[in-house]
Amino acid sequence: MLNFREFEAGPDPFGRKFQVLLKWLQTAISLRHSDTVDVKFVLTDENGTRTEKTIALQHAELQRVSRETGRKMDDAWCARIAALHLIHLVETGEDIEKDLITVLAPELKRHAETIAQMEQSAVRAGR
């Protein structure tokens, strides 16, 4: 199961790896008047350089995917989706120059399906 609070991402296209820490998860309506769940991570590379990335998950899409998958929408699920997206961004270099990245609906669904598979595997393994 993916530990969304602290994990390693990479290597990126330049061969760097990052230690990632979850900073916070908040409803963005109060932050920037957006109907999203924002998940902020702090990334530290091998040289100690820190950057912050906020992954925005659109609330309506989270609700839709939650209904479709039968998975309760909770903080841990949202943080795992954001962590998977961040790992994807680091490994591909896609949107990595941005500080705020909104997850598109097809990506959100793909990450949710990956989490469902991870959870099923953990249950089968007795964890």
Query: Is residue 1 one of the residues assigned to a domain?
Result: no
Q: Which domain holds residue 17?
A: 6-117
Is the separation of the CB atoms in 70 and 30 below 8 Å?
no
* Residue 18 located in a structural domain: yes
Whether residue 67 is contained in a domain is answered as yes
Give the count of domains, the chain: 1
Residue 12 lies in a domain: yes
List per-block mean pLDDT (blocks of 10 residues) for the chain, which spans 127 residues: 86 96 86 82 97 96 94 95 97 95 96 93 80
Q: Provide the total of helices (H) and of strands (E) in the chain, helices listed first.
A: 4, 5
The whole-model pTM stands at 0.92
Residue 54 in domain: yes
Which pLDDT belongs to residue 127? 62
Say what the pLDDT of residue 126 is.
76
Distance CA 51, CA 67 (A): 34
Is residue 126 included in any domain, yes or no? no
Query: Please, what's the b/e burial string for 70-95 (b: 16 or more CB within 10 A of its CB; e: otherwise)?
Result: eeebeeebbbbbbbbbbbbbbeeeee
